[in-house]
Amino acid sequence: MTAAQLFDLTGKVALVTGGSRGLGREMVLGFARAGADVAITSRKREACEAVAADVTAMGRAALVHPCHIGHWDELEPLVDAVYERFGRIDILVNNAGMSPLAPSLLETSEALFDKIVDVNLKGPFRLAALVGARMKAAGGGAIINISSTGAIRPAPRFAAYAASKAGLNALTTALAFEYGPEVRVNTISPGQFLTDVSAAWPPEQRERTPGAIPRCGDPAEIVGTALYLASAASSYVTGAILRVDGGLP
């Protein structure tokens, strides 16, 4: 196969959660450029529709289905809607997440802890199970979980977030064994990217990182890794955690 053929997603259908902004938006557009039709979900319909318009402008089909990933009762209707429209899901990206800071561990409320875990871990667990089972029955697919280097470099103010992402890393291994060999399940572990969330960071955090590449990532720089894991280029890769963090120590 040529390099172009390895990364070709023509005829594939991708479902991307949190696909209306940040890394999710870039992956949606990257998949569409590679030939995939894309289902886009987040809580805000208008934001999803704006990205869907970009997808259709490329000549690809797009489905918008607003959903709160932390609510299990909304996940099965989401999956059903994608199958009703496209008849399949070949690629699932569990990208939706939240990363609020807490004043301290003691001041982390139960409600905040539960909200973080619901969106970052429980939702991806359920969605991957719903989609993974159908993928396996259909004979193949790829699931990509979006974690964080915070899972291996936790700090007190985002301890609940780090714990939820560490759980997602563990879940990747379990899913790979449950739905393999037909379905490959991998994790991307991003470092500091200049998404809209980064607007609240102090200037020094936005301008320099302690990595071997001492800068924050541009959101578009996630696309190459996502395409690799979504495509035939990574046919022998599963259960892996790929860091995209500029070489953080």
Q: In this predicted structure, what is the pLDDT of residue 202?
A: 84
Is residue 138, in this structure, part of any structural domain at all? yes
Is residue 82, in this structure, part of any structural domain at all? yes
The predicted-structure confidence for 149-205, as pLDDT tens digits, reads as follows: 999 999 898 999 999 999 999 999 999 999 999 999 999 999 999 998 888 788 888
Looking at residue 164, which CATH number applies to its domain?
A: 3.40.50.720
The predicted-structure confidence for 53-77, as pLDDT tens digits, reads as follows: 999 999 999 999 999 999 999 999 9
Residue 90, pLDDT > 80, answer: yes
Share of the chain above pLDDT 90, in %: 92
Q: In this predicted structure, what is the pLDDT of residue 157?
A: 86
Is residue 126, in this structure, part of any structural domain at all? yes
Tokens of 1: 């196969």
Helices (H), 139-234: 159-179, 203-207, 223-230
Q: In this predicted structure, what is the pLDDT of residue 69?
A: 98
Give the chain's domain count.
Answer: 1
The predicted-structure confidence for 206-219, as pLDDT tens digits, reads as follows: 889 999 999 999 99
Domain that holds residue 201: 3-244
Is residue 132, in this structure, part of any structural domain at all? yes
Q: What average pLDDT does this structure show over 31-41?
A: 98
Strands 91-94 and 241-244: unpaired
Residue 124, pLDDT > 80, answer: yes
Answer yes or no: pTM beyond 0.75: yes
Taking Cα atoms as reference points, which of 9, 53, 47 lies closest to residue 144?
A: 9
Q: In this predicted structure, what is the pLDDT of residue 22?
A: 96
Taking Cα atoms as reference points, which of 217, 80, 83, 76 lies closest to residue 148?
A: 217
Is residue 249, in this structure, part of any structural domain at all? no
Catalytic residues: 161
